[in-house]
Amino acid sequence: MLKIMLFCSSGSSTSMLINRIEEAAKARGIEVAVDAYPEAQMEKYVEEADVVLLGPQVKFILPKAKKICSEKGVPVDVINPVVYGMMDGEKVLDQALSMAKK
């Protein structure tokens, strides 16, 4: 079970991605749990995550996010803006899977 955690400003727009990632995973027969939260609450939730992904609109918190996530050994990255705009669950899932492998 791969736990993917998404963060943006209020957790609203990333929450739109939850279903799309879960659907993509289901079609491929992969078990995932996806959640979305406001970035301010990252410290609270990061421990439960296997992979952390940021919405491109909060790309500027990446240094802060890296600090928080590296303490817990969780990989973190920013979702590509175009992929995000099209709410492309397949590509976000690909990104999460490749991050989890490393």
Partner 1 sequence: MSKFTDSLEEKLMPIAGKIAENRYLASIRDGFMLAVPLITIGAVFLLLANLPIPGYSDFMAKAFGPNWNTFFMRPFEATMSVMSIFVVFGIAYSLAGHYKIDGLSTAAAALAAFLIFTPYIVNYTPEGAKKAIEVSGGIPVDWMGSKGLFVGMLTAILTVEIVRFVVKKGWVIKMPKGVPPAVEKAFSALIPAAIVAVIVDIIRLIFTWTPYGTIHQFIYTVLQTPLTRLGDTLPATLLASFLEQFFWSFGIHGANLVGSVMGPIWLALAAENLQAFQAGHALPHIITQQFHDMYMLLGGSGSTLGLVLGMLFFSKSKQVKSVGKLAIAPGIFNINEPVIFGMPIVLNPIMIIPFILTPLVLTILTYIVMILGLVARPSGVIIPWTTPPVIGGLLVSGISGAIWQLIELVISFFIYLPFLRIVDRQYLEQEQAMAVESQKV
Name the residues annotated as catalytic: 8
Q: Any contact of residue 72 with partner 1 (CB under 8 A)?
A: no
Q: How far is the CB of 63 from partner 1 (least distance, A)?
A: 6
Range in contact with partner 1 (rule: CB under 8 A) among 27-35, 68-76, 84-92, 93-101: 84-92
Q: Does 58 bind partner 1 (CB under 8 A)?
A: yes
What gap in Å lies between CA 35 and CA 14, rounded to an integer?
Answer: 9
Selected range binding partner 1 among 23-31, 49-57, 69-77, 91-99, rule: CB under 8 A: 49-57
Instruction: Give the helix, strand, coil percentages of the chain, each rounded to 5.
Output: 60, 20, 20
Residue 85, C-beta contacts closer than 8 angstroms, at least 6 positions apart: none
Neighbours of 67 (CB within 10 A): 10
Task: Catalog residues that contact partner 1 under the rule CB under 8 A.
Answer: 8-9, 12-13, 16, 40, 43, 55-64, 81-82, 84-87
